[in-house]
Every structure is written in C-alpha cells, then in structure tokens.
Structure 1
Amino acid sequence: MSDDPFAQLKAVQREAWAVFAPLEAVTTMPAAELVRHARVFPQQSVLDVGCGTGVVGLTAARLGARVHGLDLAPALIEHAQKNAALAGVEIDFREGDVEALPFDDASFDVVLSQFGHMFAPRPEVAIAEMLRVLKPGGTIAFSTWPPEHFVGQMFALVGKYVPPPPGAAPPPLWGDPNVVRQRLGETVTDIVFDRGVMCFPTLSPQHYRKVLEETLGPVVKLVQTLQGDASKLATFRAELDGYIGRHLENNMLRQHYLMTRAIKR
C-alpha cells in the first residue's frame, strides 16, 4: 500500500486528465511562449513536468534540446509519443509523479511545466523535486493560472461544488507572484515574471462547457461525481454557463496566465 497521503487523489487525476488531448491545439502557442520565456537553447537537457501531450517538450526538442517528459496519465504519454514520432524528434516520455521525480539530482539544465505541476497537492514537495533535479545555475520556468483571472475563477467555481481533499493546495495559488516567490524561496535567484493570453474560440458558453466536461480533468470528475444529483448538476452547469457568458467576446475566451522564470543558486 502506498504511503502517499494523496494516492487516491492522484489516481483520480490520472483517470480524469486522460481525456485532455483535444485541448492541445489551444495549448500549443502558449507552449512556444513558455519555451521562449525559459530561454531554451540547443543541446540543453530539459525536463517537461506534467507534459500532457508533449507540446512544450516538442517545442523545446525542435530547437535542438535533449528532452524528457513526465506525466501522471499514461494515455497522455502515449499521445505525446505519437506526437514526437510525427514531428521526427526523440523525447523520453514516461509516466511519473512530480512529487517523486524518477531522476537523479542535478540532471537537467532546464525544468519546465505548463499548467502541470500546479495540480500537485503539495506545492512544497513538487517544487522541491523540480529544484532537486535541476543543475545549479539551471533554469526553472512554468506557466500557471492566476486566481483572479478567468481560469483561476473557474477552478474556484468547480471547487465550490467538489472541494479538494483536506491538505491539498488550490492550484491557482501558483498564479500569484507573491506565492510563487515564497514557494521558490532562497534556492533560486533572478525571478522574472511575464504574462500571456491563451485564446479559446467557441460559439457559445454551452459549447465551451461541453469541451470542459469532455477534456478538462477537474470538470470531467465533477460531472461524474454529480451524475447522481441531477438538480445540483443542473445548477452547476447554469452557473458555469453564466460565468463563461460574462467573459465571452467575439466568439473568443481570453485566458490570462502567468509565466515564471528563475535560476537555481
């Protein structure tokens, strides 16, 4: 039996995030922005944490970096491997947990994560692992959803209906620069922040909600959980539709995100 207190949560995440692949189209351009922000260059050893379908890793590999990718969901690893084969790049994609990275100390020049490590339940464990495998002088860089913007507020709405287990940190806190500074601590220097916008085209709030219910892990799991309570599920859907509708403009949702970069001492 696992001694990880969040083993059950991670099992749920592994299953729920398995259907994420259709969203790779909208995460592809932010992936390029993160790789640019991290200043990845050829021959660097790069780890893509929470790699999903591999959009960040592939972007780095096409620049000539030597890339490893890791994700909880084996279905996404399989998809990432197919993407790498199609692009003609070699990447070591493997199943794994950011809270227990299967790599030696100081293995990488760059450690990246696009909307991935932020879902680890224990931020202090995740960031300690990411910094452990990073070489002194190496770069850690990640993209996260700020709590005050569209996606962060949407996760807060989801959490109102299905709260996270006790002790699990809310993912959007990773989008607060003050929290990021505190979590990175004295192990790093030269912290730099930047902002980006991920644009998501959609015809209506209902169209966007349908995509979320089919592809976005926390929403997928919430809908599964509420299947036995039709009234509560209808209330959630109505509230979500209203929230989406207030942000939908010209058939586009603008999803603001934060990018962080720092150097390990």
Structure 2
Amino acid sequence: MSTDPFAPLKAAQREGWGLFSPLAAFTTPAAAMLVDFADVKSGQEVLDVACGTGVVAITAARTGARVRGLDLSPALLVDARRNAALIEADIDFVEGDAEALPYPDACFDVVLSQFGHMFAPRPEVVTREMLRVLRPGGRIAFSTWPPELAIGRLFDLVGSYLPPPAGVPPSTAWGNVETVRERLGDAVTGIEFGREEMTIPALSVRHYRTNMELTAAPFVKLAQVLADQPAKLAEFRAKVEAIVSQYYRGNRVHQSFLMTRAIKK
C-alpha cells in the first residue's frame, strides 16, 4: 500500500493528463524555447521531468544530448516513444513520479520541465528531487504559467470550483518569480528569468474552451464533476470564455509563460 498522502491525486492526474496528446503539438515551439534557454549542449546528460509526449526531450536529443524522460502518464509515454522512434532518437522514457525520481544523485548535467513539475503537489519535494539528480554546476530550467496571465488565470479559476487537497498550493505559484526564488533558495546561483509566448489556433473562444475540457486534466475533471449541475457548469464556462476572450486575436489564443534557469551550487 502506498504511503504517499497524495497517491489519489496523482492517480487522478495520471488518468486526466493521459488525454493531453492532441494539445502537445502546440507546445513544440515552446519546447525549443526552453531547450535554447537552458543552453543544452551535445554530449550532456539531460532529464525531462513530466515529459508528456516528449516534445522537450526530443528537442534536446536533436542537439546531441543524451536524454531521459519521465512522466506519470503511460498513455503520453506511448506517444513519446513513438515520436522518438520516428527520428531514431535513443531516449529512455519511463513512467514515474516527479516527487520520487528513480535516478542516482548528481547524474544529470541539465534537468528540464515544461509545464509539468508545477503540478506535483509538494513544491519542496519536487524541487529537492530535481536538484538532487543534478550535478553541481549543472543547470535546472523550466517553463511555468504566471498566475496573472491567460493559462494561470484559467487554472486558478478551475481551482476556485475544484480546490486542490489540503496542503497543495496552486500550480500557478510556480509562475511567480519571487516564489520561484524562494523555492530554489540557496541551492542555486545565477537564477535568471525569461518570458515567451505560445499560441493555440482556435476557430472561436468557445472552440478553445471545449477543447480544453477534452484535453487538459483540470478542465476535464471539473466538467465531469459539474455534469449534473448544469447552472454551475454554464457559469464556469462563461467565466472561462470571458478570460480567454482577452487573449484571443487572429484565431489564436496567446499564452505567455515564464522560463526559469539556474545553476546548482
């Protein structure tokens, strides 16, 4: 029996994020931005935490780095392995928990995460694990959603209807630079931030909202929970569309994100 107090949450995440693959293609430009920001080099040992369909891992492998990827969702790993096989990229993808990385201490030159580690329920645990497997002088780099911008606002809206378990902070806290500084603490030096944007094509705000309810785990779950409360579901959907409309231009939803990089002492 698992002693992890958040095992039920992680089981729900494993199931919910298994539907994410249709959105993964839109994250590929952001993956290149993160790999460039992290300055991944040929020959380096690289870990992609919460790798999903492998967009970051495969982008890093194309630099000549030796890459491994880990994710909770076996469904996403099927796609990751298929994507890697298409270009004969030798990447070791494994199912696993970002809060309990199955790797020895100090075995990677670079540890990356794109919109992934931020969903681990205990920031202090996932931070400790990512830094544990990183060599001194190695670089940690990740992309997250700021709470004041499009996706952060949407995730926080979901949280107002479906709060996380007690003791779990909002994932969007990882998009606040001061929070990131505090969480990385004195284990790192040379912390730097960058901001970029990714866009999601959508025929309308309603098309975008509907697609999120089919592919993004928090939205999938909330739509299921509110299925027998039509008035509340309609209220939630109206609020989602009101937020999205502020970032919708030219048949695209503009989603800005924060990138962080730092060197392990």
Whole-angstrom CA distance in 2 between matches of 1:108 and 1:24: 25
Whole-angstrom CA distance in 2 between matches of 1:171 and 1:218: 11
Range that drifts further, 240-249 or 130-139: 240-249
Measured after TM superposition, the shift of residue 247 of structure 1 is 2.2
Measured after TM superposition, the shift of residue 32 of structure 1 is 0.2
Matches within 5 A, 1:151-166: 151-166=151-166
- 2:110 matched to which residue of 1? 110
Whole-angstrom CA distance in 2 between matches of 1:111 and 1:224: 34
Whole-angstrom CA distance in 2 between matches of 1:7 and 1:246: 36
Whole-angstrom CA distance in 2 between matches of 1:231 and 1:24: 31
- TM-score w.r.t. structure 2 length? 0.98
Say yes or no: does 1:69 pair with 2:69. yes
User: Which digits, 9 at most, give the CA deviation of each residue in 1:135-159, with x for residues without a partner?
Assistant: 0110000000011111101111111
- State the one-letter code of the partner of 2:216: L
Measured after TM superposition, the shift of residue 242 of structure 1 is 2.0
Matches within 5 A, 1:139-150: 139-150=139-150
- 1:80 matched to which residue of 2? 80
**What do you get for the CA RMSD once the two structures are aligned?**
0.8
- State the one-letter code of the partner of 1:114: Q
- State the one-letter code of the partner of 2:160: K
Matches within 5 A, 1:101-250: 101-250=101-250
Say yes or no: does 1:24 pair with 2:24. yes
- 1:4 matched to which residue of 2? 4
The answer on whether the counterparts of 2:153 and 2:243 sit within 8 Å (CA) in structure 1 is no
Whole-angstrom CA distance in 2 between matches of 1:242 and 1:147: 16
SS in 2 for 1:106: coil
The answer on whether the counterparts of 2:49 and 2:116 sit within 8 Å (CA) in structure 1 is yes
SS in 2 for 1:227: coil
SS in 1 for 2:94: strand
Measured after TM superposition, the shift of residue 208 of structure 1 is 0.1
Whole-angstrom CA distance in 1 between matches of 2:119 and 2:243: 22
Whole-angstrom CA distance in 1 between matches of 2:86 and 2:154: 34
User: Which digits, 9 at most, give the CA deviation of each residue in 1:218-256, with x for residues without a partner?
Assistant: 101111111122221121112212221232112121111
Whole-angstrom CA distance in 2 between matches of 1:254 and 1:76: 25
SS in 1 for 2:158: helix
- State the one-letter code of the partner of 1:47: L
User: Which digits, 9 at most, give the CA deviation of each residue in 1:11-62, with x for residues without a partner?
Assistant: 0000000010011111000000000000000010000000000000000001
For structure 2, the residue ranges without an aligned partner over 5 or more in a row are none
Whole-angstrom CA distance in 1 between matches of 2:259 and 2:133: 20
- State the one-letter code of the partner of 1:134: L
Measured after TM superposition, the shift of residue 9 of structure 1 is 0.4
Q: Which runs of 4+ in 1 moved over 2 A?
A: none
Aligned-pair identity (%) = 59
Whole-angstrom CA distance in 1 between matches of 2:212 and 2:189: 37
Whole-angstrom CA distance in 1 between matches of 2:247 and 2:114: 23
- State the one-letter code of the partner of 1:147: P
For structure 1, the residue ranges without an aligned partner over 5 or more in a row are none
SS in 1 for 2:249: coil
SS in 2 for 1:104: coil
Measured after TM superposition, the shift of residue 73 of structure 1 is 0.4
Whole-angstrom CA distance in 1 between matches of 2:144 and 2:204: 25
Whole-angstrom CA distance in 1 between matches of 2:66 and 2:123: 26
Measured after TM superposition, the shift of residue 200 of structure 1 is 1.2
Range that drifts further, 14-23 or 198-207: 198-207
- State the one-letter code of the partner of 1:22: P
